[in-house]
Chain A
Amino acid sequence: MLHLNTDIDISFRNAMHALISQSQQSDGNSGAPIAFRGIAKRYGEVDALREFSLEIAAGEFVTFLGPSGSGKTTALNILAGFVEASAGDVLIDGVSITRLPTEKRNVGMVFQSYSLFPHMDVRDNVAFPLRMRGVGQAERRARAEAALAMVRLSGFGGRKPHELSGGQRQRVAFARAVVFEPRVLLMDEPLGALDLKLREAMQDEIRLVQRRIGCTVIYVTHDQNEALAMSDRIVVMSEGRIEQIGTPAAIYDDPRNAFVAQFVGETNFLPGSISAGRLRLGGTNVAAAPPMRLGESWSGRVALRPEHFERATERPNGPCIDCIITDVAFHGGSFRYVAEADGYGRLVVQEQRRPDREPFQVGQRTSLSFGIEQAVFLNG
């Protein structure tokens, strides 16, 4: 490459770029890394966001997960430029964008309400970002059609947004957000207005297209299932703070605190303590060795997922909890039971359906067990 002059180098890159956009293919490296550095946002007395720091790798799919008011949308809006941070800096591709106006940040965005322009047809909606970037009409049209084809809406270009179904509008919004091949794509609860079936189908589609384009995605949702299903990493947030950052599996299996345990997946909390190296749950000694790191003496809560429980008969060595079944719900592949346990309170239990065993009945007394290695020990 050393003997090539600069002009040739540039034309080569342009040709490559054209090739990539034509085929809607990419090597997965066209996304840009993003960094939040000590971002804070105050509205009067209220801290909407505090000490928000996060590094996102190029091409990564990161979800901000949290209840409303957790600051996840604020963080996204600061990145988009809708909201000005009270402190801190945001970088895309290593360059600070804090002082850039929204339109210069070159990010794609999909909104919960779709925000399609009602006075434009679908094609003009999708071509809008290209038009704003001075792309000529013929190319604009071709690229808009390609983007619509990508979301399987070829032939819908002439329709008005109000003539489409919710799912179709969502796909138009998605096509519009990616048509100019942004290196960063922001999605603010994009599936919130769709019904469950459609939502699941769209999740797959979004992931598929994102892998093809290779852009970095920040996805905001309060739906933990969505977060677990789609993300490379999840940022769990509450009250303007990051509670935990990790892969979906790490978040699920090893929640750092009670909030995360409770917000991501379903969790049973059992009061627990250790004294003289022996574990007690709900006031009863349990025949299991507690984790070494907790030491000789500890008191807190032990978190157990519903699927961690097993029938004591099938796991004879584990700690044993006697209980009475108060509710049974059929979930297709599994049963979900609610049980009342002496000294532990209410437990939620999930059990795979198997032909070789009868489901529990309401009012049935039984004994449940679990593997101590699956339990998460939480302080306080």
Chain B
Amino acid sequence: MLRKQWIAPLLAAPLILLFAIFFVVPFIEIMRVSFSGAGGVMAGLAWLWTSPVVGIVFLNTLQLALSVTVICLVVGYPAACFIALQPESRRGILLALILLPFWTSVLVRTYTWSVVLGREGILNASLIWLGLADGPQRFMFTPLAVHLGMVQILLPVAILTLVGVMTELDAGLVRAARVLGASPARAFWHVFLPMTKPGLVAAAMLIFILSLGFYITPALLGGPRHRTIANLIDLQVHQMNDWTNAAAMALVLLATTIAAVAVLRWLVPDRSLYGSAR
């Protein structure tokens, strides 16, 4: 028994060590340095409270993360279904294709959107050629551009997570539902969809948290309303040299992330998130 108790922590030790060395220690150090100046933590937090900007940017960031998450799930779910239904060999190829964009930098992929969405881009050229628009429409620096850019980057996360859950799913359950009287649509609604809920929650969690920290894409494709908390932190560090404010904001971002995880964990209890019983 004693041995069994020790094995799990031992296996996790390298991860915990890495996490401690490369995250916890630097994080504490940054916080210590940032808050050692005049006023300390309170000065940073006071700034968060009094600044006319932080609150708005914070809400904008949450809203952006939320809408990107919803779009990723809505678009990714059918795609994941399609992939999960393929024979295993083809599934591997499709997943590799889904992963392919990961080999290209986010920066490049973000810039590429300007080729498509720009005033002289492919989309505008097509619209004008088809006679659907009189002149160039504005797509860049709009909500559309930011969402396209972010969804394109985060969609693979949704698809991979969902495919993982869907292929683990007991196909017999859908058959059982069918033979017991459920049409394909009802079998999907009553059995398949609820069974993939853990995948949906996990994907939502990942995408939401990643979205909260997005920085390059909103800055390049969005307008001022799409500036995120991360952009604000960057501004404080690189242009204002104000580490106290930056650290205070980083703390709030971290707290938000933890809160988001907590809410989702509360929505979907532990057991069904990390493995379902037959």
Interface residue ranges, A against B (CB under 8 Å): 80-82, 101-103, 105-109, 111, 113-119, 128-129, 131-133, 160-162, 176-177, 180, 186
Contacts and interface: CB of A to CB of B under 8 A. Distances in A.
Interface string B176-202: 111111110011001100110100000
Given A118-B195, A119-B195, A119-B197, A113 B182 contact: no
Contact of B179 (A109, A118, A161): A109
Interface in B242-278: 272, 276-278
B213 to A, nearest CB: 32
Interface stretch (B144-152, B156-164, B167-175): B167-175
Q: Which of B172, B176, B177 has the most CB of A within 10 A?
A: B176
Nearest to A160: B277
A109 B186 CA distance: 18
A132 B180 contact: yes
A165 to B, nearest CB: 13
Given A103-B183, A132-B186, A162-B278, A115 B178 contact: no
A266 to B, nearest CB: 34
Contacts of A107: 179
A101 B183 contact: yes
A103 B179 contact: yes
A129 B181 CA distance: 6
B277 A161 contact: yes
A331 B191 CA distance: 47
A103 B170 contact: no
Contacts of A161: 277-278
Contacts of A115: 170, 172-173, 175-176
Contacts of A80: 175, 179
A15 to B, nearest CB: 25
B159 to A, nearest CB: 23
A162 B277 CA distance: 6
A102 B278 CA distance: 23
B278 A117 contact: no
B179 A113 contact: no
A111 B178 CA distance: 13
Contacts of B278: 113-114, 116, 118, 161-162
Contacts of A132: 177, 180-182, 186
A117 to B, nearest CB: 6
Contacts of B176: 109, 111, 115, 117
A176 B180 contact: yes
Interface of B: 170, 172-173, 175-183, 186-187, 190-191, 194-195, 197, 272, 276-278
Q: Which of B172, B179, B194 has the most CB of A within 10 A?
A: B179
B222 to A, nearest CB: 39
14 contacts: A103-B187, A109-B179, A111-B176, A115-B173, A117-B177, A117-B191, A119-B272, A128-B180, A132-B181, A132-B182, A133-B181, A161-B278, A162-B278, A176-B180
A129 B177 CA distance: 8
A180 B181 contact: yes
B53 to A, nearest CB: 45
Given A117-B177, A118-B278, A161-B277, A103 B182 contact: yes
A111 B172 CA distance: 8
A176 B190 CA distance: 16
Given A118-B276, A161-B278, A103 B172 contact: no
A102 B178 contact: yes
Given A102-B175, A108-B179, A128-B177, 18 more contacts: A81-B178, A81-B179, A82-B178, A101-B178, A103-B180, A103-B181, A103-B182, A103-B183, A103-B187, A111-B175, A115-B176, A116-B278, A118-B278, A128-B180, A131-B190, A132-B180, A160-B277, A180-B181
A115 B177 CA distance: 9
A129 B194 CA distance: 17
What 10 A-B pairs are tightest by C-beta distance, nearest first? A162-B277, A132-B181, A115-B176, A129-B180, A102-B178, A115-B172, A109-B179, A119-B194, A132-B182, A129-B181
Q: Which of A101, A109, A118 has the most CB of B within 10 A?
A: A118
Q: Which of A102, A106, A107 has the most CB of B within 10 A?
A: A102
Contacts of B172: 111, 113, 115
Nearest to A119: B194
Contacts of B194: 117, 119
Nearest to B180: A129
A287 B254 CA distance: 95
A160 B186 CA distance: 21
A107 B57 CA distance: 59
A102 B181 CA distance: 8
Given A103-B183, A133-B181, A82 B277 contact: no
A81 B141 CA distance: 53
A126 to B, nearest CB: 10
Q: Which of A103, A109, A111, A176 has the most CB of B within 10 A?
A: A103
A186 B179 CA distance: 10
A114 B277 CA distance: 12
Given A115-B170, A162-B278, A82 B175 contact: yes
Contacts of A101: 178, 183
Contacts of A114: 278
B78 to A, nearest CB: 21
A184 to B, nearest CB: 11
Contacts of A102: 175, 178-179
Contacts of B179: 80-82, 102-103, 105, 107-109, 186
B191 to A, nearest CB: 6
B275 to A, nearest CB: 11
B52 to A, nearest CB: 47
A293 to B, nearest CB: 46
A100 B44 CA distance: 69
